[in-house]
């Protein structure tokens, strides 16, 4: 067996200092949401899969907000670019932070969230293999999108060899016709990158230091530039406007749903189903149309969710739980086999197994100042239209009558039946085991 290739140390530079003024919203562009993560968070999760030795994030506009969003990420080095003067300038600042790093430097933009770790891995391989010759100084991802407007164009000579990248604003009319674009992902040999960066100039249409010119400089020196074409240009789509954010979201959503379908989750209508990144869903669970499942939910096997259900962060559905139409669940545990099928709000609730939550049940979890918990025991039967003012508790097999308002700090003992407004125990009436066993819907 051939000895494994010695692994080259990897540093990643993520550019996120730009203003993003084309989005026209106050949120810094890289913090815009994409299926439960931010654009930047998505890119950082992807590059983490490559297990880099160092990851440098270049910030400036919206710095305080971005830093806050990245709090606790001790694996990252955050650097302030100062007034952004172009992608080349940004990488120069990152190079200082990398000090004497020796190895491969991968540069990605914080506004291109759809790239996969697989493609970035192929980019690294493309540089090292470089047509069987010695490793190239750099490798760059290119694509052929339907509409290349606004993007840098790949320049090639008569033999098809890469010669450089021209930003659209600097293109001649002929160059503008080129349909191969720079996707914005680069892998450099660190020495080649660090040697070329000081040589960038800002003599161009935007008076910026372009990172893309590093590739032209290296190509002129015959240092070797490998290119990797991605077959689906949507993977390298950047987000510069809210329209592009919506397109990126659509593709990310499709990937997430396809992943669940492949794992045995029955999604009746992917077109109207919204599931954020990172939601765990067990096999044989059915997700019915017009359902929204936010990041931070975990759903067991053999559950049913929807149609028209809304599961928010912190929701746990244990195996066989059923959440029906117009039911919202937030930060709650719904025990195995428990049903809440109609018009209900469950927030900050801990519900046992095989309970029946009647139509129109509300856990009134917020008193205007703080959120409080509601506990509902195994086999409990919550009558239609019950309001449970938190904190309050229903014991196992206990029951409320339709329209009961259970006031705060009430504790309904096991098997007890409460009715009325405010709800009071029905004296002498205990719910029998066989009554409790019958499931309703």
Contact footprint for ligand UD1 (CB under 6 A): 15-18, 58, 81, 84-87, 89-90, 109-112, 151-152, 165, 167, 181-184, 210-212, 238, 240
User: Cβ neighbours of residue 274 under 8 Å, at least 6 residues apart?
Assistant: 253, 291, 292, 293
- Tokens 């996120």 label which residue? 16
Q: Is 220 left (phi over 0), alpha (psi -120 to 50) or beta?
A: alpha
Active site residues: 342
Nearer to ligand UD1, 111 or 322 (CB): 111
- Dihedral sign, Cα of residue 440, residue 289, residue 321, residue 355: negative
| Cα three-residue angle 329-331-335, rounded to 5 degrees | 70
Nearer to Ca ion, 41 or 335 (CB): 41
The Cα diameter of the chain in Å comes to 95
- Tokens 């705060």 label which residue? 408
**What's 27's DSSP letter?**
S
CA distance 13 to 3: 30
Nearer to ligand UD1, 108 or 303 (CB): 108
State the nearest-atom distance from the C-beta of 131 to ligand UD1, in Å.
23
Nearer to Ca ion, 107 or 297 (CB): 107
Nearer to ligand UD1, 59 or 364 (CB): 59
CA 13 from chain centre, in angstroms, equals 20
Q: Which residue is nearest to Ca ion (CB)?
A: 238
User: Cβ neighbours of residue 227 under 8 Å, at least 6 residues apart?
Assistant: 126, 139, 140, 141, 142, 154, 162
17 binds, among ligand UD1, Ca ion, none (CB under 5 to 8 A by kind): ligand UD1
Nearer to ligand UD1, 61 or 375 (CB): 61
167 binds, among Ca ion, ligand UD1, none (CB under 5 to 8 A by kind): ligand UD1
CA distance 421 to 402: 10
Tokens linked to 34:
């994409």
CB-based contact 114:22 (threshold 8 Å): no
Alpha-helical regions (H) of 19-80: 39-48, 63-69
110 binds, among Ca ion, ligand UD1, none (CB under 5 to 8 A by kind): ligand UD1
Report 228-247 residues binding Ca ion (CB under 5 A): 238, 240
**What's 366's DSSP letter?**
B
401 binds, among ligand UD1, Ca ion, none (CB under 5 to 8 A by kind): none
CB-based contact 34:245 (threshold 8 Å): yes
15 binds, among ligand UD1, Ca ion, none (CB under 5 to 8 A by kind): ligand UD1
Go through 202-224 and write b for each residue having 16 or more CB atoms within 10 A of its CB, e for each that does not: eebeeebbbbbbbbbbbbeeebb
CB-based contact 14:40 (threshold 8 Å): yes
Task: Kindly report the backbone phi and psi dihedral angles of residue 179, in degrees, each rounded to the nearest multiple of 5, phi listed first.
Answer: -110, 5
State the nearest-atom distance from the C-beta of 377 to ligand UD1, in Å.
51
Tokens linked to 24:
């026209």
Nearer to ligand UD1, 126 or 151 (CB): 151
Question: Comparing C-alpha atoms, which of 417, 357, 420, 407 is closest to residue 383?
Answer: 357
Residues 109-128 as x/- pattern, contact with Ca ion by CB under 5 A: --x-----------------
Nearer to Ca ion, 151 or 346 (CB): 151
List residues near Ca ion by CB under 5 A.
111, 238, 240
């Amino acid at each position: 067996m051939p000895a494994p290739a010695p692994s080259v140390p990897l540093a990643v530079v993520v550019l996120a200092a730009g203003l993003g003024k084309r989005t026209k919203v106050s949120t810094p562009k890289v913090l815009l949401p994409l299926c439960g993560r931010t654009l930047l968070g998505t890119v950082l999760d992807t590059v983490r899969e490559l297990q880099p030795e160092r990851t440098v994030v270049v910030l400036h506009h919206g710095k305080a907000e971005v830093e806050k969003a990245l709090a606790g990420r001790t694996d990252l080095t955050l650097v302030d670019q100062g007034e952004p003067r172009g992608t080349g300038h940004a990488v120069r600042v990152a190079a200082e932070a990398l000090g004497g790093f020796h190895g491969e430097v991968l540069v990605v933009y914080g506004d291109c969230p759809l790239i996969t770790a697989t493609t970035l891995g192929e980019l690294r391989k493309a540089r090292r293999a470089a047509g069987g010759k010695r490793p190239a100084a750099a490798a760059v991802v290119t694509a052929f999108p339907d509409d290349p407007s606004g993007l840098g164009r790949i320049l090639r000579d008569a033999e098809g060899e890469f010669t450089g990248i021209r930003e659209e604003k600097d293109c001649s009319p002929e160059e503008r016709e080129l349909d191969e674009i720079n996707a914005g992902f680069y892998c450099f040999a660190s020495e080649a990158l660090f040697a070329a960066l000081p040589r960038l100039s800002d003599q161009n249409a935007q008076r910026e230091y372009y990172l893309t010119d590093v590739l032209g400089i290296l190509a002129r020196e015959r240092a070797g530039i490998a290119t990797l074409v991605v077959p689906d240009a949507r993977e390298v789509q950047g987000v510069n406007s809210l329209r592009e954010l919506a397109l990126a979201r659509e593709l990310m959503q499709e990937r997430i749903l396809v992943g669940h379908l492949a794992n045995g989750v029955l999604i009746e209508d992917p077109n109207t189903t919204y599931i954020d990144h990172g939601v765990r869903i067990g096999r044989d669970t059915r997700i019915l149309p017009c359902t929204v499942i936010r990041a931070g939910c975990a759903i067991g096997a053999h559950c049913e969710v929807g149609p028209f259900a809304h599961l928010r962060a912190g929701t746990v559905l244990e195996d066989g739980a059923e959440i029906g139409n117009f039911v919202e669940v937030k930060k709650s545990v719904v025990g195995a086999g428990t049903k809440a099928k109609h018009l209900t709000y469950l927030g900050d609730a801990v519900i046992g197994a095989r309970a029946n939550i009647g139509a129109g049940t509300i856990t009134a979890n917020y008193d205007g100042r703080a959120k409080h918990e509601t506990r509902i025991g195994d086999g409990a039967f919550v009558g239609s239209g019950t309001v449970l003012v938190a904190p309050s508790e229903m014991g196992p097999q206990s029951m409320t009558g339709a329209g009961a308002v259970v006031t705060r700090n009430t504790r309904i003992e096991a098997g007890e039946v409460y009715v009325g407004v405010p709800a009071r125990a029905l004296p002498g009436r205990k719910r029998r085991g066989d009554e409790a066993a019958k499931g309703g819907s």
